[in-house]
Amino acid sequence: MLDLKKLLDGCVPSVEFSIQTEELDYIEDVVSGFAKASGVITNHSGLVLLKGEIIPELVVSCARCGKEFNYSEKIALEAKITDKLANKDEDEFVLLTDFALDIDELVRSTLILEMPSRFLCREDCKGLCSKCGCDLNEGKCNCDLKERDPRWDVLKDYFND
Ligand SMILES: [Zn+2]
Ligand SMILES: [Zn+2]
C-alpha cells in the first residue's frame, strides 16, 4: 500500500514508488520469475496521475515448442487516481481507500491485462512434430505430416459418385 495522503493534501508534489511483485507463476506459461514496477505519482492540481513501467523478469515456456526462455518485455503502467468517485467513471479511475493506493493490485491487474496470452520463443517458431515430437526448429523429421485425415476420404468418395 502506498500512502498518498500528503500528495492529495498538496504537501508534496509527487510520490515515487518501486516495488517487486511476488512470483508470477499464476500467469499461464510462466515457469518462474517476478516483475519490477517503478514510477511516479503526481498531483496536477487535483488530477492525480501515475506513470511508470513494469519490467518482467520471467522464464516462460514457448506455446509452440515448449522451450523455456527469458522474457522481459516492458509494460507501460499508467493510471488516474482519485479518493472519491463522485461523478467520475469508475472504469477510468483507481479508487483509493483511506488515501492508500494498492500498488500491488494495480501492477497485478495491469500484468494480467497486458501480458501476451501466449509466449513464442521466436516469431516463426515451427513447434514440435505432432507425430514424433521432435523440435522442427532443429531440423526436419521423417514423418509424413501430409497424411490425410481419413474423414476426407469419405468426402472424396462422395464426390466421385
Ligand atoms: Zn518455440
Ligand atoms: Zn516427426
Cα torsion 68, 74, 80, 84 to 10°: value is: 30
Note the ligand closest to the C-alpha atom of 119.
Answer: 1
Neighbours of ion ligand 1 (CB under 5 A): 62, 64-65, 67, 121, 125
Q: Which pLDDT does position 21 carry in this prediction?
A: 96
| Confidence tier at 148 by pLDDT (50, 70, 90) | low
Residue 100 exposure: Cα atoms within 13 Å on the Cβ side: 7
**pTM for this model (two decimals):** 0.78
- As a whole number, mean pLDDT of residues 9-33 equals 94
Dump pLDDT digits (tens) for 53-91. Answer: 999 999 999 999 999 999 999 999 999 998 877 766 777
Mean pLDDT taken over the chain: 89
